[in-house]
Amino acid sequence: MSTPTIPESLRQSMTDALKDARQRRHEYITLEHLLLAMIREEQTRTILQACGVDLKKLKRDLETYLEKNLEQLPRGKQVEPEQTIGVSRVLSLALWHAQNAQQKQMESGDVLAALLEEPESHARYLLEQQGITRLDILNYISHGIGKEEAEKQAAGETEEGDKPARDPLGAYTTDLVALAAAGKLDPLIGRDAELERTVQVLCRRLKNNPLFVGDPGVGKTAMAHGLALRIHAGQVPDLLKAARIYALDMGLLLAGTKYRGQFEERVKGVLKTLEKKPHSILFIDEIHTLVGAGAVSGGSVDASSLLKPALASGELRCIGSTTHEEFKTLERDRGLARRFQKIDILEPSVEETVQILTGLKGHFESHHGITYTDEAIRAAAELSAKHINERFLPDKAIDVLDEAGARQRIRPDAERKQVLDRRDIEAVVAAMAKIPAETVSGNERQRLESLDASLRQHIFGQDSAIESIVSAIRLSRAGLRLPNKPVGSFLFFGPTGVGKTELARVLSRALGNELLRFDMSEYSEKHTVSRLIGAPPGYVGFDQGGLLTDAVRRQPYSVVLLDEIEKAHPDLFNILLQVMDHATLTDNTGRKADFRNVVLIMTTNAGARELTSTPIGFRAEQSGDPAKKPIERLFNPEFRNRLDAIVRFDTLSIQTIKQIVDKQIDELRASLVSKHVTLELTPAARDWLAEHGYDKDFGARPMSRLIDDQIRKPLAGAILFGELADSGGKTVIDIVNGKLELNHTVATELHGNTQK
């Protein structure tokens, strides 16, 4: 793109400004010198007169300012005047304007438009004093429309008179009260307190502009619809009974605005029309899109700048809605944010969502031609809250209902169900959450009843630990725990390899919840702890959120495992205090993660040395237990006091180790079924594995390596290249001369022996 040239007329104005400054013995050429020189030039005079400027008054005011406010150099001192930074900035911006508009020449209008963007300029003040704005200049240089004509067009008037040419409200807004009268709006269920606050703000004399702030899908737009329904029904104060709510469509406002000034012209048209309707209320959904909307890159005028004066005076009432994240964008424009009264729209509870769905179900039943049972309504609220993450109630529950109805509607008549129950909702939730249907449909009461047995099938020799966990979870699910607490907060301590981490894994599977594991060795430094809740402002990664808070927000029903917590920095314990106390954790952006449905498990090897001197087998906790002394040294009393239980894991007995051998061999047998290979373990081999697969210092961890080396690897060779390669067979694991030996029998030999 070539750089625009400067025409001779503009060069002459710049030369005249230099001469004027020299004659007045001024040290600098200011914007006032430049404007005074420009109004002698024909093109500038034409633009300013079209915009309604009194040129004689402007000239008189400029000369008065130059004579009285600028200091003169002493007589006899000759100094060539220099341009101020403001003049250089205005000329550079004018050149950029011309280049951006693909003009061959920089015109006087570009300089005037740039001058009206210069802050703290007396020249700009004198122009604005006569009612001229940058938009007036842009209207004229882009379309040749003077100020008076632009105002008529903005108000929807023709040159002939006051007959409307195109109503801006009809073109760019939707009358919500009219939609309510036509029965096209869904009812608002609940939200009485928020709606009462909205009405109260609208009845103020000044700053009567409510702003709904909440997560996506919690019902911000529904609040505006609910207000429209109340106005239509006459259930509002007298001040609002004649009100009309106009929802602004930002897409229509921006569509087709090819030239500078077109967007601003449309916005001004809407605002002027609304000002003529004393009972009108403007509703702007996603109001943060106003900030920067319509602004030319580098320019300061956007839609929010045009809205501020009308909002400040109280002549225009406006309702806005935005999310918590986008509210930060709005807050940066302090002038706009202070004109609104923030109203927080919180996510409804499951019970409140059930009420909302009950109120809305008639609309979906008539649309899909089906009926929802009360059980289906409750299942939609409960299951969507539990399994559909990163979305919010009631929106996701409403989607589940709608999806279930649509699923039946597309089926052939012979297969279509007329009444939808819990099973239909479960199938939809499983598909939407991309999880197995068994996870959704599992009866939680049955799960809790069999939880003890499920854990004992996989964790051996730690019965007291299992009892502590199961009791806490049953208390929570029965509603007998304090409401603002996690399901349970536990500290597992004991030697390595005795089942602490494995119990957390098995528990998450038994509950059908996600396991969120964090290795605390990664958070040993002070600055790394902030990664869990997000970096503070000014640091790299501030906008990325926290690993722990984001994970819990995505998976609110989960088991959080903080593995080897003794390796973490002490600052982490302070963060966990609010989790164990109030079941919330606030990240760096101010968002709260809800831990009320989380099982918090921390593991530590502290006290392992003391435990090795105790008898083998699990022993009940005692107040004088020497193994707990390292725990007391490592964790301060306020941390320990908030734990539901400090669960001790002892060294494993020989019988427990043999159970672990059986479990791992059973897992190996299951993987061999598809290979048509059966596995037999002799008692001697079982005892040998139990003896060699357990180490007092490492627990049962060496067992997996031993089975891999002694059984899996030789077995893999036999299956791929050896006797079991073709048709499978049987493998017997025995002890020969003190060593483990695998004896393979081919399937054909087994079959032959059977025939004989």
pLDDT tier at 653, thresholds 50, 70, 90: confident
**pLDDT, tens only, 218-243:** 989 999 999 999 999 888 888 888 88
Judge contact between 260 and 296, C-beta under 8 A. Answer: yes
Write out the H or E segment, with its range, that includes residue 734: strand 729-736
Residue ranges per domain, the chain?
8-153, 168-344, 350-441, 444-648, 654-755
**CA separation for the pair 702, 721 (Å, rounded):** 28
**pLDDT, tens only, 705-738:** 888 888 888 888 888 877 777 777 888 888 888 7
Residue among 8, 15, 10, 7 nearest 81 (CA): 15
Task: Name the least confident of 63-77, 165-179, 480-494, 537-551.
Answer: 537-551
Kindly indicate whether the domain formed by 168-344 is annotated with CATH number 3.20.20.60: no
Query: What local confidence, expressed as pLDDT, does residue 640 receive?
Result: 85
Report percent pLDDT > 90 for the chain: 8
pLDDT tier at 127, thresholds 50, 70, 90: confident
In the CATH scheme, what architecture does the domain 8-153 have? Answer: Orthogonal Bundle (1.10)
- And the tokens for 581? 């106390």
pLDDT tier at 756, thresholds 50, 70, 90: very low
Query: What local confidence, expressed as pLDDT, does residue 260 receive?
Result: 59
- And the tokens for 357? 């769905």
Cis peptide before 394 (omega within 30 of 0): yes
Report percent pLDDT > 70 for the chain: 86
Domains 8-153 and 350-441 alike in fold: no
Largest CA distance in the chain: 133
Mean pLDDT over the full length of the chain: 80
Rounded to the nearest 10 degrees, the angle between the axes of helix 374-387 and helix 422-433 is 20
Beta strands 28-29; 82-83: pairing state: parallel
pLDDT tier at 673, thresholds 50, 70, 90: confident
Residue 526, pLDDT > 60, answer: yes
Please give the full DSSP string across 389-452, using - where no structure is assigned. -SS-TTHHHHHHHHHHHHHHHTS-TTT--SEE-HHHHHHHHHHHHT--HHHHHS-HHHHHHHHH
**pLDDT, tens only, 594-632:** 888 888 999 888 765 655 554 545 444 444 566 677 788
pLDDT tier at 441, thresholds 50, 70, 90: low
**CA separation for the pair 705, 700 (Å, rounded):** 10
Residue 257, pLDDT > 90, answer: no
Q: Tell me the fold of 444-648.
A: Rossmann fold (3.40.50)
Instruction: Work out the number of other CB atoms within 10 angstroms of the CB of residue 571.
Output: 15
**CA separation for the pair 383, 93 (Å, rounded):** 57
Radius of gyration of the chain from Cα atoms?
A: 38
pLDDT tier at 210, thresholds 50, 70, 90: very high
Q: Tell me the fold of 654-755.
A: Helicase, Ruva Protein; domain 3 (1.10.8)
Judge contact between 172 and 248, C-beta under 8 A. Answer: yes
Q: Long-range contacts for 681-690 (Cβ within 8 Å, ≥24 apart)?
A: 681/733, 682/732, 682/733, 682/734, 682/735, 684/734, 684/735, 685/733, 685/734, 685/735, 685/740, 686/658, 686/661, 686/662, 687/658, 688/735, 688/740, 689/661, 689/740, 690/654, 690/657, 690/658, 690/660, 690/661
- And the tokens for 438? 């068994």
Query: What local confidence, expressed as pLDDT, does residue 157 receive?
Result: 47
Place of tokens 């002892």: 650
Q: Tell me the fold of 350-441.
A: Helicase, Ruva Protein; domain 3 (1.10.8)
Residue among 278, 190, 270 nearest 241 (CA): 278
Residue among 310, 307, 313 nearest 292 (CA): 307
**pLDDT, tens only, 8-38:** 888 898 899 899 888 888 888 898 888 899 8
Residue 144, pLDDT > 60, answer: no
Name the residue type at position 600: L
Query: What local confidence, expressed as pLDDT, does residue 414 receive?
Result: 83
pLDDT tier at 739, thresholds 50, 70, 90: confident
